[in-house]
Protein backbone atom coordinates (compact mmCIF):
# COMPACT_ATOMS: atom_id res chain seq x y z
CA UNK A 1 0.00 0.00 0.00
CA UNK A 2 2.78 2.41 0.92
CA UNK A 3 4.66 1.62 -2.31
CA UNK A 4 1.55 2.35 -4.39
CA UNK A 5 1.05 5.66 -2.58
CA UNK A 6 4.66 6.67 -3.33
CA UNK A 7 4.24 5.76 -7.02
CA UNK A 8 0.99 7.74 -7.19
CA UNK A 9 2.70 10.74 -5.61
CA UNK A 10 5.50 10.54 -8.15
CA UNK A 11 3.04 10.36 -11.04
CA UNK A 12 1.26 13.47 -9.79
CA UNK A 13 4.47 15.40 -9.23
CA UNK A 14 4.83 18.60 -11.26
CA UNK A 15 8.36 17.64 -12.29
CA UNK A 16 7.24 14.47 -14.10
CA UNK A 17 9.32 15.05 -17.24
CA UNK A 18 7.87 12.10 -19.12
CA UNK A 19 4.35 13.50 -18.85
CA UNK A 20 5.07 17.23 -18.96
CA UNK A 21 8.12 17.39 -21.22
CA UNK A 22 6.35 19.63 -23.73
CA UNK A 23 5.67 22.22 -21.03
CA UNK A 24 9.31 22.17 -19.98
CA UNK A 25 10.40 22.70 -23.60
CA UNK A 26 8.18 25.79 -23.76
CA UNK A 27 9.86 27.06 -20.59
CA UNK A 28 13.37 26.47 -21.92
CA UNK A 29 13.79 29.81 -23.82
CA UNK A 30 12.69 31.76 -20.74
CA UNK A 31 15.08 29.78 -18.55
CA UNK A 32 17.96 30.47 -20.95
CA UNK A 33 17.21 34.21 -21.01
CA UNK A 34 16.86 34.24 -17.21
CA UNK A 35 20.24 32.52 -16.88
CA UNK A 36 21.96 34.93 -19.29
CA UNK A 37 20.53 38.20 -17.96
CA UNK A 38 19.96 37.37 -14.27
CA UNK A 39 22.38 34.68 -13.13
CA UNK A 40 25.54 35.35 -15.13
CA UNK A 41 25.61 39.05 -14.06
CA UNK A 42 25.56 37.87 -10.44
CA UNK A 43 29.31 37.37 -10.80
CA UNK A 44 29.43 41.15 -10.40
CA UNK A 45 28.46 40.72 -6.74
CA UNK A 46 32.18 40.17 -6.14
CA UNK A 47 32.59 43.93 -6.57
CA UNK A 48 30.98 44.40 -3.14
CA UNK A 49 33.92 42.53 -1.59
CA UNK A 50 36.60 44.43 -3.51
CA UNK A 51 38.03 47.92 -3.81
CA UNK A 52 36.81 47.86 -7.37
CA UNK A 53 38.75 49.77 -10.00
CA UNK A 54 37.09 49.81 -13.44
CA UNK A 55 40.46 49.81 -15.23
CA UNK A 56 41.50 46.66 -13.33
CA UNK A 57 38.23 44.78 -13.73
CA UNK A 58 36.53 42.36 -11.37
CA UNK A 59 39.30 39.77 -11.32
CA UNK A 60 42.26 42.09 -10.70
CA UNK A 61 40.78 44.62 -8.27
CA UNK A 62 42.19 44.34 -4.70
CA UNK A 63 40.16 42.23 -2.28
CA UNK A 64 38.54 44.17 0.58
CA UNK A 65 36.45 41.52 2.36
CA UNK A 66 33.53 42.94 4.34
CA UNK A 67 34.97 46.47 4.44
CA UNK A 68 32.10 48.04 2.47
CA UNK A 69 29.46 46.12 4.41
CA UNK A 70 30.90 47.41 7.70
CA UNK A 71 30.93 50.92 6.28
CA UNK A 72 27.30 50.54 5.22
CA UNK A 73 26.15 49.54 8.71
CA UNK A 74 28.17 52.35 10.28
CA UNK A 75 27.09 55.02 7.83
CA UNK A 76 24.10 57.04 9.15
CA UNK A 77 23.04 57.90 5.59
CA UNK A 78 22.87 54.25 4.51
CA UNK A 79 20.96 53.28 7.67
CA UNK A 80 18.52 56.16 7.11
CA UNK A 81 18.00 55.01 3.52
CA UNK A 82 17.23 51.46 4.67
CA UNK A 83 14.77 52.80 7.25
CA UNK A 84 13.11 55.06 4.66
CA UNK A 85 12.71 52.10 2.32
CA UNK A 86 11.17 49.96 5.04
CA UNK A 87 8.70 52.67 6.17
CA UNK A 88 7.57 53.67 2.67
CA UNK A 89 7.25 50.08 1.41
CA UNK A 90 5.41 48.93 4.56
CA UNK A 91 2.85 51.73 4.34
CA UNK A 92 2.37 51.09 0.63
CA UNK A 93 1.75 47.39 1.27
CA UNK A 94 -0.58 47.97 4.24
CA UNK A 95 -2.73 50.68 2.67
CA UNK A 96 -2.45 49.06 -0.76
CA UNK A 97 -3.96 45.88 0.67
CA UNK A 98 -6.93 47.56 2.34
CA UNK A 99 -7.88 50.07 -0.40
CA UNK A 100 -8.64 47.63 -3.26
CA UNK A 101 -10.33 45.17 -0.89
CA UNK A 102 -12.70 47.84 0.45
CA UNK A 103 -13.30 49.42 -2.96
CA UNK A 104 -14.07 46.03 -4.54
CA UNK A 105 -16.68 45.34 -1.83
CA UNK A 106 -18.31 48.72 -2.47
CA UNK A 107 -18.24 48.32 -6.25
CA UNK A 108 -19.62 44.80 -6.03
CA UNK A 109 -22.76 46.19 -4.40
CA UNK A 110 -23.49 48.52 -7.34
CA UNK A 111 -26.48 47.28 -9.35
CA UNK A 112 -26.06 49.52 -12.41
CA UNK A 113 -23.78 47.44 -14.67
CA UNK A 114 -22.84 50.34 -16.97
CA UNK A 115 -21.81 52.56 -14.05
CA UNK A 116 -19.94 49.67 -12.44
CA UNK A 117 -17.96 48.87 -15.61
CA UNK A 118 -17.17 52.56 -16.21
CA UNK A 119 -15.81 53.08 -12.69
CA UNK A 120 -13.90 49.81 -12.92
CA UNK A 121 -12.20 50.94 -16.14
CA UNK A 122 -11.39 54.42 -14.82
CA UNK A 123 -9.69 53.19 -11.63
CA UNK A 124 -7.78 50.55 -13.61
CA UNK A 125 -6.44 53.01 -16.21
CA UNK A 126 -3.62 54.59 -14.10
CA UNK A 127 -2.02 51.14 -13.72
CA UNK A 128 -0.93 51.33 -17.37
CA UNK A 129 0.70 54.75 -17.08
CA UNK A 130 4.46 54.91 -16.63
CA UNK A 131 5.93 56.74 -13.66
CA UNK A 132 7.89 58.96 -16.05
CA UNK A 133 4.57 60.36 -17.27
CA UNK A 134 2.86 60.39 -13.88
CA UNK A 135 5.93 61.87 -12.20
CA UNK A 136 5.88 64.84 -14.57
CA UNK A 137 2.13 65.33 -14.12
CA UNK A 138 2.32 65.14 -10.32
CA UNK A 139 5.34 67.44 -10.20
CA UNK A 140 3.37 70.11 -12.08
CA UNK A 141 0.21 69.60 -10.01
CA UNK A 142 1.95 69.54 -6.62
CA UNK A 143 4.55 72.26 -7.09
CA UNK A 144 4.27 75.44 -5.04
CA UNK A 145 2.62 77.17 -8.03
CA UNK A 146 0.73 74.06 -9.11
CA UNK A 147 -3.00 73.55 -9.43
CA UNK A 148 -3.39 71.89 -6.02
CA UNK A 149 -1.69 74.72 -4.13
CA UNK A 150 -3.60 77.32 -6.11
CA UNK A 151 -6.82 75.60 -5.04
CA UNK A 152 -5.71 75.50 -1.40
CA UNK A 153 -4.80 79.17 -1.55
CA UNK A 154 -8.25 80.02 -3.01
CA UNK A 155 -9.77 78.39 0.08
CA UNK A 156 -7.65 80.60 2.33
CA UNK A 157 -5.25 77.80 3.29
CA UNK A 158 -1.47 77.88 3.29
CA UNK A 159 0.42 76.33 0.42
CA UNK A 160 1.86 72.86 1.06
CA UNK A 161 5.40 72.01 0.04
CA UNK A 162 4.47 68.51 -1.19
CA UNK A 163 7.74 67.81 -3.01
CA UNK A 164 10.10 69.74 -0.74
CA UNK A 165 9.07 68.65 2.75
CA UNK A 166 10.17 65.13 3.73
CA UNK A 167 7.01 64.18 5.62
CA UNK A 168 4.70 65.49 2.91
CA UNK A 169 6.84 63.79 0.29
CA UNK A 170 6.28 60.41 1.95
CA UNK A 171 2.52 61.07 2.01
CA UNK A 172 2.68 62.03 -1.66
CA UNK A 173 4.58 58.86 -2.58
CA UNK A 174 2.21 56.55 -0.73
CA UNK A 175 -0.98 58.29 -1.88
CA UNK A 176 0.03 58.45 -5.54
CA UNK A 177 1.16 54.82 -5.53
CA UNK A 178 -2.14 53.65 -4.02
CA UNK A 179 -4.06 55.75 -6.55
CA UNK A 180 -2.09 54.21 -9.42
CA UNK A 181 -2.24 50.56 -8.36
CA UNK A 182 -5.43 49.98 -6.34
CA UNK A 183 -7.46 49.58 -9.54
CA UNK A 184 -5.47 46.47 -10.43
CA UNK A 185 -6.10 44.95 -7.01
CA UNK A 186 -9.78 45.80 -7.35
CA UNK A 187 -9.96 43.78 -10.58
CA UNK A 188 -8.42 40.78 -8.82
CA UNK A 189 -10.95 40.89 -5.98
CA UNK A 190 -13.88 41.42 -8.35
CA UNK A 191 -12.75 38.37 -10.32
CA UNK A 192 -12.68 36.38 -7.08
CA UNK A 193 -16.20 37.62 -6.23
CA UNK A 194 -17.44 36.51 -9.65
CA UNK A 195 -16.54 32.96 -8.70
CA UNK A 196 -18.71 32.90 -5.56
CA UNK A 197 -21.61 30.44 -5.80
CA UNK A 198 -24.78 32.52 -6.42
CA UNK A 199 -26.79 29.91 -4.53
CA UNK A 200 -25.26 31.22 -1.33
CA UNK A 201 -26.75 34.67 -1.96
CA UNK A 202 -30.12 33.17 -2.92
CA UNK A 203 -30.21 31.17 0.31
CA UNK A 204 -29.30 34.30 2.27
CA UNK A 205 -32.13 36.23 0.55
CA UNK A 206 -34.60 33.52 1.54
CA UNK A 207 -33.42 33.85 5.15
CA UNK A 208 -33.98 37.62 5.01
CA UNK A 209 -30.33 38.65 5.14
CA UNK A 210 -29.48 42.29 4.45
CA UNK A 211 -26.86 43.41 1.96
CA UNK A 212 -24.38 44.09 4.77
CA UNK A 213 -24.96 40.62 6.25
CA UNK A 214 -24.41 38.95 2.87
CA UNK A 215 -21.19 40.90 2.41
CA UNK A 216 -20.00 40.05 5.91
CA UNK A 217 -20.88 36.35 5.96
CA UNK A 218 -20.55 35.35 2.28
CA UNK A 219 -18.48 37.77 0.21
CA UNK A 220 -15.69 38.56 2.67
CA UNK A 221 -15.04 34.92 3.77
CA UNK A 222 -15.08 33.81 0.12
CA UNK A 223 -12.42 36.28 -1.05
CA UNK A 224 -10.38 36.22 2.14
CA UNK A 225 -8.04 33.42 0.90
CA UNK A 226 -7.01 35.42 -2.18
CA UNK A 227 -6.55 38.47 0.05
CA UNK A 228 -4.24 36.46 2.31
CA UNK A 229 -2.23 35.31 -0.71
CA UNK A 230 -1.86 38.85 -2.09
CA UNK A 231 -0.85 40.37 1.24
CA UNK A 232 1.50 37.53 2.15
CA UNK A 233 3.34 37.54 -1.16
CA UNK A 234 3.57 41.34 -1.15
CA UNK A 235 5.63 41.12 2.05
CA UNK A 236 8.48 39.91 -0.11
CA UNK A 237 8.65 43.45 -1.54
CA UNK A 238 9.18 45.07 1.85
CA UNK A 239 12.47 46.58 0.60
CA UNK A 240 11.09 47.60 -2.80
CA UNK A 241 9.69 51.07 -2.31
CA UNK A 242 9.45 51.88 -6.02
CA UNK A 243 12.56 53.19 -7.77
CA UNK A 244 10.69 54.57 -10.82
CA UNK A 245 8.29 56.58 -8.69
CA UNK A 246 10.84 58.02 -6.26
CA UNK A 247 13.46 58.73 -8.92
CA UNK A 248 10.99 60.75 -11.00
CA UNK A 249 9.66 62.76 -8.05
CA UNK A 250 12.39 63.27 -5.45
CA UNK A 251 15.03 65.96 -5.07
CA UNK A 252 17.88 66.74 -2.60
CA UNK A 253 15.47 68.52 -0.23
CA UNK A 254 13.73 65.23 0.64
CA UNK A 255 16.70 62.84 0.76
CA UNK A 256 16.38 62.61 4.55
CA UNK A 257 12.84 61.14 4.41
CA UNK A 258 12.36 60.11 0.78
CA UNK A 259 15.63 58.50 -0.33
CA UNK A 260 15.36 54.70 -0.71
CA UNK A 261 17.87 51.90 -1.28
CA UNK A 262 17.47 51.82 -5.07
CA UNK A 263 17.92 55.57 -5.56
CA UNK A 264 20.82 55.58 -3.07
CA UNK A 265 22.55 52.79 -4.99
CA UNK A 266 21.98 54.70 -8.25
CA UNK A 267 23.53 57.89 -6.88
CA UNK A 268 26.42 56.27 -5.03
CA UNK A 269 27.25 53.79 -7.80
CA UNK A 270 26.58 55.53 -11.09
CA UNK A 271 26.84 59.21 -10.13
CA UNK A 272 29.57 59.18 -7.47
CA UNK A 273 31.43 56.14 -8.82
CA UNK A 274 31.53 54.20 -5.50
CA UNK A 275 30.79 50.91 -7.22
CA UNK A 276 31.85 48.67 -4.35
CA UNK A 277 29.66 50.39 -1.76
CA UNK A 278 26.68 50.48 -4.12
CA UNK A 279 27.11 46.77 -4.84
CA UNK A 280 27.32 45.97 -1.12
CA UNK A 281 24.09 47.85 -0.41
CA UNK A 282 22.34 46.21 -3.36
CA UNK A 283 23.62 42.78 -2.28
CA UNK A 284 22.29 43.34 1.23
CA UNK A 285 18.87 44.25 -0.20
CA UNK A 286 18.86 41.17 -2.46
CA UNK A 287 19.66 38.79 0.41
CA UNK A 288 16.93 40.24 2.62
CA UNK A 289 14.50 40.19 -0.30
CA UNK A 290 15.27 36.54 -1.05
CA UNK A 291 14.70 35.54 2.58
CA UNK A 292 11.41 37.47 2.69
CA UNK A 293 10.14 36.01 -0.58
CA UNK A 294 10.98 32.45 0.51
CA UNK A 295 9.34 33.02 3.90
CA UNK A 296 6.19 34.62 2.53
CA UNK A 297 5.82 31.86 -0.06
CA UNK A 298 5.93 29.30 2.74
CA UNK A 299 3.33 31.29 4.68
CA UNK A 300 1.07 31.53 1.62
CA UNK A 301 1.37 27.77 1.13
CA UNK A 302 0.60 27.06 4.77
CA UNK A 303 -2.28 29.46 5.40
CA UNK A 304 -3.84 29.89 1.94
CA UNK A 305 -2.84 26.63 0.23
CA UNK A 306 -1.12 28.67 -2.48
CA UNK A 307 1.75 27.13 -4.39
CA UNK A 308 3.41 27.76 -7.73
CA UNK A 309 4.83 24.25 -8.06
Model pLDDT for residues 211-248, shown as the tens digit of each residue: 788 888 888 888 888 888 888 777 777 778 888 889 98
Model confidence pLDDT, tens digit, residues 76-135 = 888 899 899 989 988 998 888 889 988 988 888 888 888 888 888 888 888 888 899 888
Query: Is 37 within a domain?
Result: no
The Cα 52–Cα 57 span in angstroms is: 7
Report CA-CA distances (Å) from 4 to 1, 8, 9, 18, 97. 5, 6, 9, 19, 44
pLDDT band at 8; cut points 50, 70, 90: very low
- Higher pLDDT: 293 or 130? It is 130
Domain coverage including residue 184: 78-304
Residue 12 pLDDT more than 80? no
Q: Is 50 helix (H, G, I), strand (E, B) or coil?
A: strand
Model confidence pLDDT, tens digit, residues 173-211 = 999 999 998 888 888 888 888 888 888 888 888 888 887
Q: What's the whole-model pTM score? A: 0.80
The Cα 224–Cα 275 span in angstroms is: 45
Query: Is 10 within a domain?
Result: no
Interior angle at CA 237, CA 236 and CA 238, nearest 5: 95
- Higher pLDDT: 19 or 30? It is 30
> pLDDT value at position 145?
85
Q: Is 51 helix (H, G, I), strand (E, B) or coil?
A: coil
Model confidence pLDDT, tens digit, residues 43-80 = 888 888 988 888 888 888 888 888 888 888 888 888 89
> pLDDT value at position 307?
65
CATH number at residue 244: 1.10.3720.10
**Phi, psi values for residue 151, rounded to 5°:** -65, -45
pLDDT band at 33; cut points 50, 70, 90: very high
Structurally, how many domains does the chain consist of?
1
Q: Is 67 helix (H, G, I), strand (E, B) or coil?
A: helix
For the chain, give the percent of residues with pLDDT over 90.
Answer: 4
Residue 1 pLDDT more than 50? no
The Cα 81–Cα 288 span in angstroms is: 15
Considering only 116-125, 268-277, 290-299, which range has the smallest mean pLDDT? 290-299
Dihedral over Cα of 176, 233, 309, 37: its sign: positive
Pick the closest to residue 101 from 183, 194, 218 (CA basis).
183
Pick the closest to residue 98 from 109, 110, 106, 88 (CA basis).
106
Model confidence pLDDT, tens digit, residues 128-161 = 888 998 888 888 888 888 888 888 888 888 888 8
> pLDDT value at position 5?
47
What residues have CB less than 8 Å from 270, skipping those under 6 apart? 278
Amino acid sequence: MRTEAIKLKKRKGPLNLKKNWVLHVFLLPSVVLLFIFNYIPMAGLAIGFEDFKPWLGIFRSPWAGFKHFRFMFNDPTALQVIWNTFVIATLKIAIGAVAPFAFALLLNGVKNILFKRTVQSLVYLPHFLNWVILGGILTDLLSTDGLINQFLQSLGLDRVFFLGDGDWFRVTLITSDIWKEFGFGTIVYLAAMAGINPNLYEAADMDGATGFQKTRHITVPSILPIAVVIVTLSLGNILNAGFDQVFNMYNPLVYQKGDIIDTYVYRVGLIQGSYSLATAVGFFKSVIGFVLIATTYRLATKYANYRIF
